[in-house]
Structure 1
C-alpha cells in the first residue's frame, strides 16, 4: 500500500474540479509528494461519480492509504467514492474540517469543491488532511481515540440488513466514555 508517511497520494477530478486538482497536485509535488493522478488531462476527466468510483477503488483495493477528490461542490464525488468498500470520505471547505476528517473521523478520502474552495485554501486543506493521522492532537483527551475508533468501526462494519431486522437499531451497541475536553483545544 502506498502510504502518506511515504508521501504517496492518489487524486481524481471531474471537469469542474480539474483546475483545483491541478493546483493542489502542483503544490504537493513541489513539497515532495508522489501524486498518482487518475485524471491527468481534462479530456480524461469523467463525470463526477465515475471519478469518485476511480479514486474510491484505489482505496478499496488497498493500493493507497489516502486520496483527494475534486468536483464542483465536492459532494457528488464524495458520495460516489463512498460507494466503494472501506472508503470513509469527507467533504471539507475549511482547514479545521480537513484536519478533523483525518484526526477524529479517520477518513481516507477528502473531497473538495472547486466552486467554493480557492486554490491556496485547498492546498492548506490537503496538507492538513494528508499530514495528520487518527488521534493526532487529542492524545491527552481520555477516551477520544476509543470513542472515535468505535464510530469508525461501526461505519466500517455496518450491516444494513441486520440493522433493519433489529428494528433500525444496532444489534450490539458498545459504549465508550470520553473524559472532559482538555482545555486549550480549538477544534
Structure 2
C-alpha cells in the first residue's frame, strides 16, 4: 500500500520516525512534507497530502504541531476525510464509522510511540460500511 505523508517544520522528527517505521513494515511511503526546520505553512502540506491520497485512492498522514490546522487544510480536499486522532480508539472509530482516509497527528501533543500505535490501528481498521455509508456519502457531498 502507498501512503502519502506531509508535515510542517514542527513535525520533522516525528515524520522521519513514522516513515522509517512504515517502510520497515513494507509500505511505500511518499514523503511530501518539509525536511527543513525553516518555518513553512502547514495548509500547503495538509492540502497537498490529502489531494494526492484522494487521487490515488489510498491513505495519507498529516502532521503539524497540534494536528488541528493541518487537518482543517486536508479536509478542504473533496472526498478527503481527515481525522485528528490522539489515541487508538479515535483512530479505530474514524476508520470504522467515517471511512477516514487521512490521519492527522500533533507532534507537540503526542509521543512518537503513541503516534505509531495510532497509525497501526488506523491502517489496520476497515470501514464498516452499511449504516455508515449514507453518512460518508453526505460528508463527501457537502
TM-score bracket for this pair, using the shorter chain length: over 0.9
Which residue number in structure 1 is paired with residue 130 of structure 2? 146
Aligned residues: 142
TM-score between the two structures when normalised by the length of structure 1:
0.71
Aligned to 1:84, the other structure's residue is in SS state coil
Q: For 1:71-94, what per-residue CA distance to the aligned partner results, in whole angstroms no more than 9, with x for missing partners?
A: 000000000011111111100000
Q: CA deviation at 1:47?
A: 1.1
Q: Root-mean-square deviation (CA), in Å?
A: 1.6
Q: CA deviation at 1:106?
A: 0.3
Higher relative contact order (CA 8 A, sep 6+): 2
TM-score between the two structures when normalised by the length of structure 2:
0.92
The structure where helix makes up a greater share of residues is: 2
Which residue number in structure 2 is paired with residue 93 of structure 1? 86
Distance 2:131 2:38 in 1: 41
Please tell me whether the aligned partners of residues 45 and 51 of structure 1 are also in contact (alpha carbons under 8 angstroms).
no
* Unaligned residue ranges in structure 2 (runs of 5+): none
Which residue number in structure 1 is paired with residue 140 of structure 2? 156
The structure where strand makes up a greater share of residues is: 2
Which residue number in structure 2 is paired with residue 80 of structure 1? 73
Distance 1:87 1:94 in 2: 20
Q: For 1:147-179, what per-residue CA distance to the aligned partner results, in whole angstroms no more than 9, with x for missing partners?
A: 211110111112xxxxxxxxxxxxxxxxxxxxx
Please tell me whether the aligned partners of residues 13 and 45 of structure 1 are also in contact (alpha carbons under 8 angstroms).
no
Distance 1:20 1:32 in 2: 18
Q: CA deviation at 1:64?
A: 4.1
Moved more, 96-105 or 74-83: 96-105
Aligned to 1:18, the other structure's residue is in SS state helix
